[in-house]
Structure 1
Amino acid sequence: MRIMMMSTAVPTHFAPLVPLAWGLRAAGAEILVAAQPDVMPMVRTAGLVGAPIGEKLDGDKHLSSFLTEGRRPLECFTRFPPEEMGFYGRVWMDQARANVHAYLELARQWRPQLIIADQVEYASLLIGGVLDIPVVHHRWGVDPISDLALRDARTELADLAEELGLPGLPAPAQTLDPCPPSLQLPTTSPGTLIRHVPFNGFGETPAWRARPPKRRVVVTLGTRTLQLNGVPHVRRVLQACAQVPDTEIVATVIPAYWDELGPMPSHVHLVPPTPLHLFIDSCDAMVHHSGSSTMLTAATAGLPQLALPQWSDQFALGDQLEAAGAGITLDTVARQDDPTLIRDSVQQLLDKPDYRTAAQAIGREIAAMPSPATIAENLLHTL
């Protein structure tokens, strides 16, 4: 079977689809990943074949245009009410409008029999409708966005659908959901469960991977956090974590920012971005920006987590983690800028066994979900 995979123009939107792509390839399917140039490095990293479409979006540049100089996203964006989260699909509606004809030309040439795309890739639905091909959407994780955004997209893209000869924007034939049910929002429409298998890029097992004599906490706030006026924030978080006694801190940070972050205590180790799955089993807790893949990677390992969301769906991820008893979320500027609160939160995650018990229960729940290989076989035989 020929399968065209599509992704919106953010590499981390494609990452959750990679293990499924591997499963499909292993089952004999031919995969072509069509996406804007932003995603092609991730496609190559995953060992897949890509077809770049349209212009590079440069999501960081796009997002930074909405920021006040020197302020990070949390200082500039309000936390949207749940009923307004469909707003975050708007940029992807615009991108679908800009690129659908190029995607359609590729699809007519390559003739896929199935399309698999991330949860807000609306050009996929239009192409599937025009060519009468089933389309499967794949969520990133905790999902407060896609149901509301799809509702809005039906209105926003109605004229484009009509131009293409469709009565409206089609719905996906199936939605795959990598979020364990205990973390998913109760308002999110049910999907077909698929186990989250961490894909955090490629690399070598780090020499420092072995578990240290003391406890280890990994701090990974994402490259975007640093790039979007986040150096003072990251510095503050690391200095707060350094105050937790008898604990080694490992922070994944792009080396270009090390000097700007300044000197750190000897038990705080800055390391280049390293795939989390290569060392996460040597850690006792994680501090992160509440990104979907990061949160689910920690959840597969049964780690308690401190979430420091910055915008968009990151707040919902932190909320669900805390509600499940597997973590703590600090969701305001004042709370994230309080080093004592950050230190005490990490201390609680390490010292209170209830957090680890809840986190390990989520890890077992994820392990029991159908694997990407199983889902791949089901897709090949049912669609």
Structure 2
Amino acid sequence: MTAVRVLFVTIPWRSHYHLVVSMGWALQAAGHEVRVASGPEITDAMTRSGLTAVPVGSDEPIMEKLEKLLDADVLGKVEELTEQGDLLVDMCENREEELTWQRLKWAYRMYKRTHAAMNDSMVEDLVEYCRWWKPDLVIWDYLSYAGAVAAAAVGAAHARMPIGLNAEARMRANYLRVRAQQPLEDREDPLEEWLGGLAEKYGASFSEELVTGQFTIDQMVGSLRLESDVPSVPIGYTPYNGPSVEPDWTRRDPSKRRVLATFGISLEQADWAQALSNEQLQGMLDGLADLDIELVVTLPEKIQKELKRVPDNTRMVEFVPLHVIIPSCSAVIHHGGIGPFLDSIAHELPQLMVGRVLPDIGERGPRLEQAGAGLWISGDDPGELSGERIRERVVRLLDEPSFREGAGRLRTELLAQPTPGEAVRELELLTSRYRSR
């Protein structure tokens, strides 16, 4: 196929960008022209990945944009809805009796506000760039709707890349189903209003493709995925942790069983991104202190300094590349990030996921347990994340062979999925099918 132009779009969040890099490498290695676009705050991360960056939008940090949304009215509504406010952070609710119109309406009003805060400043620059560069395919991270709008404005094919399970697509289907049951005068759709307004500004119109993508590129293990009517291109997982160095201490086999505890690079940016509070982190360390293991914990220096005790069996580091450390481990504890989740599967390791930081975790946690490859503690009750409970789960993962066997089955499945390079031909065909320019 003649070389095509491919533009990747992500919100300015490093971990989201890292997950599209391997597909960018594959397309570039196949002879296609590749550009990566996001907010200026991650321009350095983009250029250091070896791909050509296109900074778009304002340089106001994304965390500041999101924090402005937490005004008194919003916080009051969250308190009013109490437990039902979890639709804002856990999009896996699928019980019909829980998905009331009142609850869904308010959640989608907030989705519109948060998505707009993350995307709006990028749209004009993206459209202007696309009108000049004329991409054939736009691939956008699952929260980066600015990419879908820009693609529609110039007639490019466009694909959405979910990070974990595609829970947003199922929630959207539920929203449209419940909306259709309401009186005509009460059928608001905040996402259609927002995306439709942006599309019309640039000569396009709203369709559900602006929400779902014309097709998806999905690196989740096939048996764990949610069903979807949107065409999907499966790919295997290729780790990328940003520029990194292999530390001296990782260059030899551990003398004891090694357990990694890692909770994501987002901890540097926001306290609310913590899966475990500082008190719960201390409880985890104390709970694992008497085990004959080497516990490696990655935490920002600021949080390390707030801990009262670090046991003798614990090595505390700010960062270590996951693909470097995980092969030497016997188990992994993490917050549900797709990096440690898929890296653990790729190396046949049992894993313990903790908390509800990520929107698909309410489905991915139970599916991991059903596959026999690990355990999940939701932390809905803060007491669930006690050091004693984490210790009990870690001991099971280390001592019960069935967990490694379950992880091995998922590993076989993951390795059978096409590599990003092997998926390029399918992307070329889909680009020809969906491109309208």
Question: Match for 1:183: what amino acid?
Answer: L
1:295 to 341, 350, 366: 341
Q: Which residue number in structure 1 is paired with residue 421 of structure 2?
A: 373
Q: Which residue number in structure 2 is paired with residue 71 of structure 1?
A: none
Q: Which residue number in structure 1 is paired with residue 288 of structure 2?
A: 241
Q: Which residue number in structure 1 is paired with residue 186 of structure 2?
A: none
1:338 to 372, 386, 393: 386
**TM-score computed with the length of structure 2 as normaliser:** 0.78
Instruction: Give yes or no for contact 1:89–1:149 (8 Å, CA) kept in 2.
Output: no
Q: Which residue number in structure 2 is paired with residue 156 of structure 1?
A: 194
Residue 338 of structure 1 deviates from its aligned partner by: 1.6
Residue 106 of structure 1 deviates from its aligned partner by: 1.1
Q: Which of the two has higher C-alpha Rg?
A: 2
Residue 9 of structure 1 deviates from its aligned partner by: 2.5
Instruction: Give yes or no for contact 2:65–2:118 (8 Å, CA) kept in 1.
Output: no
Between the aligned partners of 1:295 and 1:365, the Cα distance in structure 2 is 14
Residue 89 of structure 1 deviates from its aligned partner by: 6.4
Q: Which residue number in structure 2 is paired with residue 166 of structure 1?
A: 204
Between the aligned partners of 2:340 and 2:172, the Cα distance in structure 1 is 23
How far does the alpha carbon of each residue in 1:193-219 deviate from its partner, in whole angstroms, 9 at most, with x for none? 111111122212222223322211000
Instruction: Give yes or no for contact 1:147–1:189 (8 Å, CA) kept in 2.
Output: no
The SS at the match of 2:249 is coil
Q: Which residue number in structure 2 is paired with residue 176 of structure 1?
A: 217
How far does the alpha carbon of each residue in 1:245-287 deviate from its partner, in whole angstroms, 9 at most, with x for none? 2111001122343222233112100012111001211000000
Q: Which moved more, 1:85-94 or 1:206-215?
A: 85-94
Between the aligned partners of 2:391 and 2:262, the Cα distance in structure 1 is 16
Instruction: Give yes or no for contact 1:120–1:146 (8 Å, CA) kept in 2.
Output: no
The SS at the match of 1:376 is helix
1:99 to 122, 130, 134: 122
Q: Which residue number in structure 2 is paired with residue 220 of structure 1?
A: 262
Between the aligned partners of 1:225 and 1:318, the Cα distance in structure 2 is 21
The SS at the match of 1:51 is strand
Q: Which residue number in structure 2 is paired with residue 194 of structure 1?
A: 235
Between the aligned partners of 1:317 and 1:204, the Cα distance in structure 2 is 31
| Moved segments of 4+, more than 6 Å | none
Between the aligned partners of 2:218 and 2:239, the Cα distance in structure 1 is 14
Instruction: Give yes or no for contact 1:211–1:282 (8 Å, CA) kept in 2.
Output: yes
Instruction: Give yes or no for contact 1:144–1:188 (8 Å, CA) kept in 2.
Output: no
Instruction: Give yes or no for contact 2:280–2:387 (8 Å, CA) kept in 1.
Output: no
Q: If each structure's helix is expressed as a fraction of its own residues, which one has the higher value? A: 2
1:319 to 360, 363, 366: 366
Aligned-residue CA RMSD (Å): 2.8
Q: Which moved more, 1:49-58 or 1:100-109?
A: 49-58
Between the aligned partners of 1:42 and 1:188, the Cα distance in structure 2 is 34
Per the alignment, do residues 342 and 67 of structure 1 end up closer, same or farther by CA in structure 2, a change over 3 Å counting?
A: farther
Q: Which residue number in structure 1 is paired with residue 132 of structure 2?
A: 109
Between the aligned partners of 1:292 and 1:109, the Cα distance in structure 2 is 34
Q: Which residue number in structure 2 is paired with residue 79 of structure 1?
A: 86
Between the aligned partners of 1:217 and 1:192, the Cα distance in structure 2 is 33
Between the aligned partners of 2:350 and 2:84, the Cα distance in structure 1 is 27
Q: Indicate yes or no: 2:246 matched with 1:205.
A: yes
Instruction: Give yes or no for contact 1:125–1:169 (8 Å, CA) kept in 2.
Output: no
Aligned pairs, number: 377
Per the alignment, do residues 373 and 55 of structure 1 end up closer, same or farther by CA in structure 2, a change over 3 Å counting?
A: same
Residue identity (%): 27
Residue 149 of structure 1 deviates from its aligned partner by: 4.9
Between the aligned partners of 2:170 and 2:86, the Cα distance in structure 1 is 18
Instruction: Give yes or no for contact 2:34–2:52 (8 Å, CA) kept in 1.
Output: yes
Residue 137 of structure 1 deviates from its aligned partner by: 1.4
Residue 319 of structure 1 deviates from its aligned partner by: 2.4
**TM-score computed with the length of structure 1 as normaliser:** 0.89
Instruction: Give yes or no for contact 1:9–1:56 (8 Å, CA) kept in 2.
Output: no
Question: Match for 2:263: what amino acid?
Answer: L
Q: Any stretches of 5+ residues in structure 2 without a counterpart? A: 73-81, 88-92, 177-188, 432-437
Residues 43-54 of structure 1 aligned to structure 2 (within 5 Å): 43-54=46-57
Instruction: Give yes or no for contact 2:12–2:40 (8 Å, CA) kept in 1.
Output: yes
Instruction: Give yes or no for contact 1:118–1:139 (8 Å, CA) kept in 2.
Output: yes
Residues 252-331 of structure 1 aligned to structure 2 (within 5 Å): 252-311=298-357, 312-331=359-378
Q: Which residue number in structure 2 is paired with residue 144 of structure 1?
A: 167
How far does the alpha carbon of each residue in 1:300-324 deviate from its partner, in whole angstroms, 9 at most, with x for none? 1111111112332233332221222
